[in-house]
Amino acid sequence: MTAPSLSPEDFQPLQSSVSGQQLSRPSLSYWADAWRRLKENPRAMASLGLIAFLLAFVSIGPYLWQVDPSAQDLDQIGIGPGADRSVTLAAPFQPWLPEQQATTLDDNMLGFTLAMPATTQAVRLVWTMENGTRYRLYRNLFDPSDTGSFGLPLAELDRSYFEDRLDLQAGTYYYSLVMLNADGSETTSTVTKDIQVTRVISAAEALQRGLIESEDDAQLGMALELAWHPLGTDYLGRDMLARLMYGGQVSLFIGLFAPLAFVLLGVIYGSVAGFLGGATDQAMMRFADFVVALPFLLFMILFKVIFGIGPGESGIWPMLVAMIILLWPAPARLVRGQILQIREEGYVSASRLLGGTTTYVVGRHMLPNTLGVILVTITFQVPSAIFTEAFLSFIGMGVAPPTPSWGAMCNEGIKSMLTRPHELMFPALLISITVLAFNLLGDGLRDALDARMRGAE
Task: Measure the CA–CA gap between 71 and 242, rounded to whole angstroms.
Answer: 10
List Cβ neighbours of 363 (8 Å cut-off, separation of 6 or more). none
Task: Measure the CA–CA gap between 137 and 153, rounded to whole angstroms.
Answer: 6
Task: Measure the CA–CA gap between 387 and 399, rounded to whole angstroms.
Answer: 13
- Of the listed pieces 82-90, 223-231, 260-268, 436-444, which binds another protein according to CB under 8 A? 436-444
Cβ closest to another protein, residue 99 vs residue 457: 457
* 27 binds another protein per the rule CB under 8 A: no
400 touches 319 (CB < 8 A): no
Ranges within 361-380 binding another protein (CB under 8 A): none
From the CB of residue 3, how many other CB atoms can be counted at a distance below 10 Å? 6
Member of 28, 116, 436, 451 binding another protein (CB under 8 A) = 436
Amino acid letter, residue 268: I
Compute how many residues bind another protein; rule: CB under 8 A: 56
Cβ closest to another protein, residue 64 vs residue 293: 293
Nearest to 343 by CA among 362, 371, 368: 362
Task: Measure the CA–CA gap between 255 and 384, rounded to whole angstroms.
Answer: 8
* 457 binds another protein per the rule CB under 8 A: yes
Helix (H) or strand (E) holding 228: none
Member of 410, 445, 448, 449 binding another protein (CB under 8 A) = 410
**Pairing status of strand 171-180 against strand 186-197:** antiparallel
Task: Measure the CA–CA gap between 326 and 236, rounded to whole angstroms.
Answer: 36
145 touches 157 (CB < 8 A): no
Question: Which neighbouring-strand residues pair with 161?
Answer: 126
- Of the listed pieces 18-26, 152-160, 180-188, 213-221, which binds another protein according to CB under 8 A? 18-26
233 touches 79 (CB < 8 A): yes
At residue 171, the 3 state secondary structure works out as strand
At closest approach, how far in Å is the CB of 322 from another protein? Answer: 11
At closest approach, how far in Å is the CB of 1 from another protein? Answer: 4
**Pairing status of strand 123-126 against strand 113-114:** antiparallel
Member of 306, 347, 360, 451 binding another protein (CB under 8 A) = 306
At closest approach, how far in Å is the CB of 4 from another protein? Answer: 8
* 387 binds another protein per the rule CB under 8 A: yes
Residue 150 to residues 159, 160, 167, 175, 240, Cα–Cα distance (Å) = 21, 20, 18, 9, 31
Cβ closest to another protein, residue 50 vs residue 191: 50
Per-position x/- string for 274-293, each x denoting binding to another protein as judged by CB under 8 A, each - no binding: ---------------xx--x
Member of 91, 432, 451, 454 binding another protein (CB under 8 A) = 432
* 178 binds another protein per the rule CB under 8 A: no
Per-position x/- string for 132-151, each x denoting binding to another protein as judged by CB under 8 A, each - no binding: ---------------x----
Task: Measure the CA–CA gap between 88 and 364, rounded to whole angstroms.
Answer: 73
At closest approach, how far in Å is the CB of 313 from another protein? Answer: 16
Member of 212, 428, 441, 449 binding another protein (CB under 8 A) = 428
237 touches 76 (CB < 8 A): yes
Member of 431, 441, 448, 449 binding another protein (CB under 8 A) = 431
- Of the listed pieces 53-61, 88-96, 347-355, 392-400, which binds another protein according to CB under 8 A? 392-400
Question: Which neighbouring-strand residues pair with 196?
Answer: 172
Nearest to 318 by CA among 394, 407, 392: 392
* 28 binds another protein per the rule CB under 8 A: no
Cβ closest to another protein, residue 2 vs residue 359: 2
Longest CA–CA separation in the chain, Å = 131
At closest approach, how far in Å is the CB of 437 from another protein? Answer: 9
* 322 binds another protein per the rule CB under 8 A: no
* 155 binds another protein per the rule CB under 8 A: no
Where does this chain bind another protein (CB under 8 A)? 1, 3, 6, 8-14, 16, 18-21, 24, 147, 289-290, 293-299, 301-302, 305-306, 308, 383, 387, 390-391, 394-397, 407, 410-411, 414, 417-418, 421, 424, 428, 431-433, 435-436, 439-440, 457
